[in-house]
Amino acid sequence: MKGILRRLWKYKLFVFLGILSLLIVDGAQLIIPLIIRKSINLLQSGQATFKILGKYALYILGLTLIIAILRFFWRYFIMGTARKVERDIREEIYFHLVKLSASFFNRERTGELMALITNDTDAVRMATGMGLVQITDILVYSTFSLAIMFKISPMLTIYALLPLPLISLLISFSGRLNYRYFKEVQETFSKLTEKIRESIVGIRVLKGFSQVEGQIGDIRVTNELYFKKNMKLAKVSSLFEPGIQLGATLSFAILLFFGGRKVILNEISLGDFCSLFELPGYDGMANDCSWFPCKHFTTRFCFNG
């Protein structure tokens, strides 16, 4: 992690502004359900007036505008910083490679190096950008959201969290499969790139010995294998988001059943019940970093460099 932190420190102002914007967005998202809770409780008790509801509506509108504007800024600053880190890593890898001796390139395949410089640095970029967002959301939004939920109704909060172990198992299982298939895709991409390079470099020899068609067939087979590996990775990745949505839907169903029962029995107010539906950020709990593995060369270079 030292290598990534060192590169992030270079853009510390952008990181600070991005995290600050994200914190304000998280805070605004936490305030809106509380305003809704207050409004519904006033309506239920008959104390609401047009003036009060209009004021609360303006509060929600203002907070929504703040969220929309600052969401753009945190994406610009954080994801922009991740892009710059990716650019710096690629430049460092390039300048490092040009200093190496010819014997190194005799030992290492060019296709392997191309795969590391392209796909793996993309993975580092995504892990860096979304990693900052995930950490901030977990520390701020999820923590305060759960604190508010427990304050409203500890038992309903526990009920709503029952599906979370299933989501955790899904993330763990999906992450291991994604890592394995990602490595297979990278290895196949390396072989494909190397075969194409060899074909271009040795085109005269291939033509001289009438081996062009055979080489084309060999490349076609490798390309089909690369396609199949990518499809395996895509199929595993495609199960991730629906699984998260399933867990969230189960939580909402549990909350609706037990929370509705408590409202009917007057154990909690209707405003409390509605605010509980607004607070959980299950859609943002997907751990995208589970498919951000980096292969050995890039891992050593980025994290230890």
pLDDT digits (tens, 9 = 90+) for 167-187: 778 777 877 888 888 888 888
C-alpha triplet 82, 68, 171: angle, nearest 5°: 55
- Contact criterion met (CB below 8 Å) for 275 and 101: no
Report pLDDT for 1: 62
From residue 123, how far is each of 17, 133, 183, 232 by CA, in Å? Answer: 23, 15, 12, 18
Report pLDDT for 84: 92
Distance CA 120, CA 193 (A): 15
Number of helices (H), then strands (E), belonging to the chain: the values are 15, 0
C-alpha triplet 179, 180, 185: angle, nearest 5°: 95
Structure tokens at 25: 């967005």
| Every domain of the chain and the residues it spans | 2-304
C-alpha triplet 290, 296, 302: angle, nearest 5°: 80
- The residue length of the chain stands at 305
C-beta atoms surrounding 253 within 10 Å: 12
Report pLDDT for 261: 92
Superfamily of domain 2-304: ABC transporter type 1, transmembrane domain (1.20.1560.10)
- Contact criterion met (CB below 8 Å) for 195 and 218: yes
Report pLDDT for 280: 59
Distance CA 68, CA 292 (A): 28
- Contact criterion met (CB below 8 Å) for 178 and 241: no
C-beta atoms surrounding 260 within 10 Å: 12
3-state secondary structure of 292: coil
**Stretches in the chain below the pLDDT threshold 70:** 1-2, 111, 280-305
- Sign of the alpha-carbon torsion through 9, 11, 12, 15: negative
